[in-house]
Amino acid sequence: MRAIIISTLSSASFVYLRCNSVATMATKTHRVFVYGTLKRDKPNHFLMSNPENGKSQYIGEARSVDRWPLVIATPFNIPFVLDKKGHGHIIQGELFDIDDEMLKSCDKLEGHPKVYTREHFNVLNMSTGSQDTVWCYLMKNFKDELLNSPMLQKYDREQMNFVVPGERTDSNISSFVKKLN
């Protein structure tokens, strides 16, 4: 029995058809590349694993096809991918399939579209070797001086000393992000 997978990012739909069978399943799904605190075992992954926020399924490791500047900024050591394709490094991260509700939850966490913008992003799925166009959160508006910051290939909380919201003296991220723009 063969399976045919049809995926279109523009309509953000995922259809699975099983040959020689009358059963079909259609589920609204969005594939997203996460490179920072939403990765498994990172401080904001609780959002992805909480069913109250929607559905998510870990797909596997991935890396960007193009070079991008992944920098750590703000006093809280928050990772940002700056919207400057061709600068920086190939970035390592993870792929997840998420539903509409989880996408809304991620948008809220990432401050889309004010802090980060959700953009199409080309990745190499390390499990399958295939290239996919997925969603990724990028910082569009930033000061050029951020391009002089050290650029990373991957985000590792233990090395970066990410400050979780409960440990912050001022939890107003927006004021710090404004300093970056």
DSSP per-residue letters across 115-127: SSEEEEEEEEETT
Q: What percent of the chain has pLDDT over 70?
A: 71
For 13-32, what is each residue's pLDDT tens digit?
333 333 333 333 455 899 99
161: left (phi over 0), alpha (psi -120 to 50) or beta: left
Residue from 101, 110, 158, 167 carrying the catalytic annotation: 110
For 39-90, what is each residue's pLDDT tens digit?
998 888 999 999 999 999 999 999 999 999 999 887 777 899 999 999 999 9
pTM of the model: 0.77
What are the chain's domains? 30-161 (3.10.490.10)
CA distance 100 to 70: 27
Instruction: Kindly state the helix (H) or strand (E) to which residue 47 belongs, with its residue range.
Output: helix 45-49
Given a cut of 70, is residue 6 above it in pLDDT? no
CA distance 73 to 149: 9
State yes or no: is 110 an active-site residue.
Answer: yes
pLDDT, average across residues 138-142:
95
CA distance 94 to 61: 5
